[in-house]
């Protein structure tokens, strides 16, 4: 059994420690270099590598939205996915101008909200193009608020984009997109805390005389449960396509309804002139009565034909297919 101090020896030892006569060891932590503190509660995650499935979803959305947008404006529109990045939401929000055309939406069953941003110069271009503007002059909204007609028409574009987003995601996940509200001040469009990570997808929109962007921001926390699907790699050696996935996409695209319009004719008038229109007026069109009509699919000229009647309904007999090089 080890030696045990007596009560007197313990008292003498404590007295020596208190008066500094007895030296004691102190706990010293050696300075550690090259170590960075890591906050385990932080949501700053790194999405390593590409997201092949998400890339295809973005490409499909580009095609669908191109058709929708072209149909709305009655003009050829190009839509291309140009980048997919991850960033803290606070940094992303600070990069947005004010005013900005911000639209909050949901993608159920994904958690939380998404954010769609239409670039300001694109907002003015949408209105200008819809009403026949062709000056090529870019108008800016940096120093003014959006007009009522700009707000209304941009919302219609966003609603169409949300429908296309739902269709593009369908082969991966059945989602239901729902418009929530619009904002012009980025401070009122906080869909997640500033430190949360969001996925930022930018689509470049090319009109006839100008271009702009539509950006979609989705919280990382919303897509995290389906990240394995988005990271899925393709097994083919060519690394190009997943045959099953493409088959499902093709099936969805072939059953997607498109708008077909037979264009009777086109003419140009001044705003002063069309304000004077009344019942019984005759509007002269620019084509001859013997010319075939142009039939457009989602705003894109596809065939020509002559009007008639079939089974008691108005109909068009196709006489010519418009080749792409003739557009």
Residue 296: how many CB atoms within 10 A of its CB? 19
Biggest CA–CA distance in the chain, Å, is 126
Q: Which residues contact 58 (CB under 8 A, 6 or more apart)?
A: 81, 84, 168, 201, 203
Token pair listed for 60: 């499909």
> pLDDT (tens digit, 9 = 90+) per residue, 249-290?
777 777 778 888 888 888 888 888 878 888 888 888 877 878
Q: Write down the pLDDT at residue 310.
A: 86
Examine the pLDDT at 138 and tell me if it is beyond 80.
no
Of 164, 49, 48, which is closest to residue 105 (Cα–Cα)? 164
Distance in angstroms between the alpha carbons of the first and the last residue of the chain? 104
Q: Write down the pLDDT at residue 144.
A: 66
Convert 135-152 to b/e letters by CB count within 10 Å (16 or more is b). Answer: eeeeeebeeeebeeebee
Examine the pLDDT at 233 and tell me if it is beyond 90.
no
> pLDDT (tens digit, 9 = 90+) per residue, 280-326?
888 888 778 788 888 888 888 889 999 888 888 888 899 988 887 65
Convert 206-220 to b/e letters by CB count within 10 Å (16 or more is b). Answer: ebeebebebbbbbbb
Give dist(CA 162, CA 175) in Å, integer. Answer: 11
Examine the pLDDT at 247 and tell me if it is beyond 90.
no
Examine the pLDDT at 196 and tell me if it is beyond 90.
yes
Q: Determine the topology of domain 52-257 in CATH.
A: Chemotaxis protein chec (3.40.1550)
In residues, how long is the chain?
327
Token pair listed for 266: 């086109």
Domain 261-326 in this protein, CATH class: mainly beta
Give dist(CA 155, CA 179) in Å, integer. Answer: 9
Q: Which residues pair with 321 in a beta bridge?
A: 303
Q: Write down the pLDDT at residue 243.
A: 64
Structural domain spans, the chain: 52-257, 261-326
Examine the pLDDT at 162 and tell me if it is beyond 50.
yes
* pLDDT band, residue 235 (cuts 50/70/90): very low
Which H or E element spans position 201?
strand 197-206
> Tokens 């790699």 map to which residue?
233
CA dihedral 191, 194, 197, 203 (to 10 degrees): 60
Q: Write down the pLDDT at residue 211.
A: 85
pTM (predicted TM-score): 0.60
Mean pLDDT check: name the lowest of 23-32, 66-75, 179-188, 293-302. Answer: 23-32
Number of H helices, E strands in the chain: 9, 10
Give dist(CA 217, CA 197) in Å, integer. Answer: 10
Examine the pLDDT at 74 and tell me if it is beyond 90.
no
Average pLDDT over residues 174-201: 92
Give dist(CA 117, CA 213) in Å, integer. Answer: 8
Of 139, 110, 115, which is closest to residue 127 (Cα–Cα)? 139
């Amino acid at each position: 059994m080890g030696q045990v101090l007596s009560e007197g020896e313990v008292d003498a030892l404590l007295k020596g420690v208190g008066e500094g006569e007895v030296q004691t060891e102190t706990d010293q932590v050696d300075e550690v270099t090259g170590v960075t503190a890591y906050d385990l509660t932080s949501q700053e995650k790194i999405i390593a590598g590409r997201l092949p499935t998400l890339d295809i979803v973005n490409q499909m959305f580009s095609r669908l939205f191109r058709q929708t947008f072209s149909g709305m404006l009655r003009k050829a529109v190009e839509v291309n996915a140009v980048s997919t990045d991850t960033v803290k939401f606070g940094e992303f929000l600070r990069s947005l101008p004010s005013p900005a055309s911000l639209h909050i939406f949901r993608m159920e069953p994904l958690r939380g909200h998404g954010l769609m941003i239409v670039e300001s110069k694109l907002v003015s271009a949408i209105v200008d193009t819809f009403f026949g503007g062709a000056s090529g002059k870019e108008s800016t909204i940096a120093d003014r608020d959006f007009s009522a007609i700009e707000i209304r028409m941009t919302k219609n574009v966003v609603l169409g984009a949300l429908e296309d987003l739902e269709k593009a995601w369908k082969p991966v996940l059945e989602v239901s997109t729902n418009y929530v509200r619009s904002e012009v001040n980025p401070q009122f469009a906080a869909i997640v805390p500033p430190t949360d990570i969001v996925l930022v997808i930018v689509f470049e929109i090319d009109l006839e005389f100008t271009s702009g962007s539509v950006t979609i921001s989705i919280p990382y926390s919303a897509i995290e449960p389906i990240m394995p699907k988005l990271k899925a790699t393709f097994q083919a050696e060519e690394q190009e396509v997943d045959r099953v996935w493409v088959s499902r996409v093709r099936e969805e695209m072939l059953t997607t309804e498109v708008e077909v319009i037979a264009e009777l004719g086109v003419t140009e008038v001044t705003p002063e002139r069309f304000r004077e229109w009344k019942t019984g007026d005759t509007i002269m069109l620019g084509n001859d009565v013997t010319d075939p009509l142009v039939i457009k699919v989602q705003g894109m000229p596809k065939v020509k034909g002559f009007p008639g009647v079939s089974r008691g309904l108005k109909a068009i007999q196709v006489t010519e297919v418009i080749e792409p090089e003739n557009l």
